[in-house]
Amino acid sequence: MSDYEFLKYSEKDGVARVTLNRPEKINSLSIKMSAELHEAITRVRDSTALKVLVFEGAGGNFCSGDDLTEMRARWGNANDFMRRAMLYQTMANLLEDLDKVTIAAVDGYAVGGGLEITMACDFVIATERAQWGMPEIDWGLTPGWGGTTRMARLIGRRLTKEINMLGAIHPASRALELNLWNRVVANDRLEAEVQKLLDLLASKHQQGLRQMKFIINKGVECDLYTAQGFEALSGGLVAAVNGHWEIPDADKGRGLDAFAAKNELQKRRRALSRDFWVDR
């Protein structure tokens, strides 16, 4: 099932697969391909049947980032560059915020924008021959959608400076050491390892997974006490969906029913509230 020019897209058993498909260009992100990618992620977001999204690359590589030849010819002026960076950031945020588990299956190169995709995913599994880096500095560019921001949150500012300011291309094992990626497997074991993870995820409490992802992603960006608030609320919600939802003094929908029916409860509450401490 695919209706894209530069992506392969399929859905099966609650799993969506997006394959970046410009192998002759090392799956570099053209303007058209980026638009299709944004559309595919939105498509996954809007589905309640899908539980997992897997990203892959065609032709033995994951993604080499933006198409630099197209950038020079078609991206426009400085304001256009800024707008495109913001569009990419929106796409990465959309990917990171999906209420689905996301997996990047990396073979070959994952550099620039390709690496930025992996950093917005929940899990990254790579082959031993996979390579990664942020070489933008040598093209006279700076990263636009996670290479400095998400990376600093994942591995700290000192290592983020090293990766971005030096522009080296690193082996997969280094990403494992830095906690950028989760697992490195033999070159012929990538799909098998992805399937093992998919089988494990399918066995889990799906609402629990959704809430876990939410509270981790949101909690890491705020202070401890606010993060603990998310954690506590999640505990209450998961108890409710597990059947322990009745609270003796909860409204149980009576307020909304009263609004619809305009009954005595609605009249009494509004009569008490409407002019309370209001000087007219």
Q: Which residues does the annotation mark as catalytic?
A: 116, 136
Cα gap 263→256, rounded to integer Å: 11
Residue 165: exposure state from Cβ atoms within 10 A (0-12, 13-18, ≥19): exposed
Task: Indicate left, alpha or beta for 111 from its phi (over 0: left) and psi (-120 to 50: alpha).
Answer: beta
Write the single-letter amino acid at 33: M
Instruction: Work out the widest C-alpha separation in the chain, in whole angstroms.
Output: 76
Q: Are 110 and 118 a contacting pair, CB within 8 Å?
A: yes
DSSP letters spanning 181-210: SSEEE-TT-HHHHHHHHHHHHHTS-HHHHH
The tokens 């959309």 sit on which residue?
A: 94
Cα four-point dihedral sign 170, 173, 178, 181: positive
∠91-95-100 over CA atoms, to 5°? 155
Q: What's the distance, CA 107 to chain centroid?
A: 19
Q: Are 106 and 125 a contacting pair, CB within 8 Å?
A: yes
